[in-house]
Structure 1
Amino acid sequence: MSMRSKERRARLLDALNAGEIDVDDLARRFDVSASTVRRDLQFLSKNNHVRRTYGGAILTGHVAEATLDQRIAVQGKAKQAIAQAAADLITDGETLILDAGSTVAAFGRMLLQRKLRIITNNLALLPFLAKAPGIELIVLGGTIRATSMSTMGPLAAEALRRMTADRAIMSADGVVDGRGLCEADLEQVALKSLMMQQAKDVIVLADAAKLGRAEQDAWAPLPPHWTLVTDGDAANSQRVMFAASGARVVIAG
């Protein structure tokens, strides 16, 4: 089953973040025809996200925020609902650690009128949070990971070890009962694990499509008690399984 074109285009932008990419490589990666990829690239070039090259495409310079918007567009309504439901769990005066990821970015944008201390590696949120009058913003430095517009690595971890928080707001490529948060990169999960250790409470934001998904092979185990905020499409069997193993399950919308 092919991905919906909107989601595929969002993932195409992610792939292009790595540099110049060949059409045939992209077609193999997304299991579609080369002509489908060319149509997607044509669409993206019309919207100024990419510049076509012979046999492929490269990103145009200002695409970082557009990539975030594209990601939020994937499962967009669900992500916005999850972000709102999670924001309703937050009390003014708290210190929050915000993970990278598009659903956490949507959540962060819900906080602009709040009074909070925010520690984050989510670079896409900085232009919004930096202007919010009630937000004290602390940014974790480190190595830039372009696909998620975030920082990671030993510098980010060293800074984070010096701080604790009331809650860590987490994202993931997949969330699997009994195993934890699934990601592509070991450095990502090392930082995610530390974020969860440094917070009293952990809230994971994950749409229904991410529940039980284990496509990557790097893992950050979850604490014994945590909160899952997901959407109404989450299968009842998944809700029951997570609740039985110690999660508080909040259904958005």
Structure 2
Amino acid sequence: MRSKERHARLLEALNAGEIDVDDLARRFDVSASTVRRDLQHLSKNNAVRRTYGGAILTAHANETTLEQRLAVQGKQKQAIARAAIDLIEDGDTLILDAGSTVAAFGRLLQQRRLRIITNNLALLPFFAKAPTIELVVLGGALRTTSMSTMGPLANEALRRMTADRAVMSADGVVNGRGLCEADLEQVALKSLMMQQSKEVIVLADASKLGRAEQMAWAPLPPRWTLVTDVGASEEQCKRLADAGARVIVAGVR
């Protein structure tokens, strides 16, 4: 296969989202070094953005708003949210991260008896109407793309509290590296959320697994729980389990 044809097929494959070098090499029956050279060529032309172990189309790499993310993988996010509910016990203190999948999860908690600490402003109208939820809102700087707070004020408030479980989101989840996000202040708060909790639960649909186009990382604890959907491959789940995750795969109704 000539390089021009291979470049065109690489771009077509990447149109579905991020793919790593080894997957691309198997798909096109070439060496991983050939794929890396192809991706380097395409990145110089701004067609793709290199990521940890792979690449993503430049058009896919820009951070989206909360409304846009809520519209993507909606059935999968609802299935993940329903599966994660079984991990919560009445009386728990929860830290809820920002993000669309956590927002879908939070909306299912309205009838539960819980103490909730959150920077997820999208959930406040729902929790304000729930008489059995004790709500603590983390202040700080507003991040409009995710409708959340972050920064020194949020961090300082959170240091004064602990929780039974932190329910986390991410732009990407990579074994051995952690949770991927666009902003260093985001990962500072995410890291603190996980540190202040006895248990960490990550809600991430299959498109987030192995995805690493953003530049900031929050390391995961040695043991944590991942709730994902049936789109996750056995290989992805095994890699994450080997990195310390208890993997729960939610079906899509």
Structure 1 residue 70 displacement after superposition: 4.0
Deviations 1:115-161 (CA, angstroms, capped at 9, x unpaired): 00000000000000111111000000000000000000000000000
Match in the other structure for 1:194: 192
- Residues 66 and 145, structure 2, Cα contact 8 Å, conserved in 1: no
Deviations 1:177-224 (CA, angstroms, capped at 9, x unpaired): 000000000000000000000000000000000000000110000000
Distance 1:144 1:234 in 2: 33
Match in the other structure for 2:75: 77
Match in the other structure for 2:140: 142
Distance 2:16 2:240 in 1: 27
**Structure 2 unpaired stretches of 5+:** 1-11, 18-56
Match in the other structure for 2:130: 132
AA in 2 matched with 1:113: Q
Deviations 1:163-183 (CA, angstroms, capped at 9, x unpaired): 000000000000000000000
Distance 2:69 2:181 in 1: 16
**Structure 1 unpaired stretches of 5+:** 5-27, 32-66
2:250 to 245, 249, 252: 252
Match in the other structure for 2:164: 166
1:171-250 equivalences under 5 Å are 171-250=169-248
Structure 1 residue 244 displacement after superposition: 1.5
Count residues with an aligned counterpart. 195
Match in the other structure for 2:32: none
% identical aligned pairs? 77
Higher RCO (CA < 8 A, seq sep 6+) = 2
Which runs of at least 4 in structure 1 moved beyond 6 Å after TM superposition? none
Structure 1 residue 71 displacement after superposition: 2.2
TM-score normalised by L of structure 2: 0.74
Distance 2:203 2:140 in 1: 24
Distance 2:66 2:109 in 1: 17
Structure 1 residue 30 displacement after superposition: 2.7
* SS at structure 2 position matched to 1:110: helix
* SS at structure 2 position matched to 1:148: coil
Deviations 1:28-77 (CA, angstroms, capped at 9, x unpaired): 9638xxxxxxxxxxxxxxxxxxxxxxxxxxxxxxxxxxx64542220000
Distance 2:225 2:234 in 1: 16
Structure 1 residue 239 displacement after superposition: 0.6
Matched, 1:102 2:131: no
2:59 to 20, 24, 30: 30
* SS at structure 1 position matched to 2:179: strand
AA in 1 matched with 2:190: K
AA in 2 matched with 1:219: W
Structure 1 residue 3 displacement after superposition: 6.6
Distance 2:167 2:240 in 1: 17
Distance 2:154 2:243 in 1: 31
Query: Cα–Cα, structure 1 residues 29 and 239, in superposed 2: closer, same or farther, change >3 Å?
Result: closer
Structure 1 residue 246 displacement after superposition: 1.3
TM-score normalised by L of structure 1: 0.74
Computed over aligned residues only, the root mean square deviation of the Cα atoms, in angstroms, reads: 1.6
AA in 2 matched with 1:245: A
* SS at structure 2 position matched to 1:108: helix
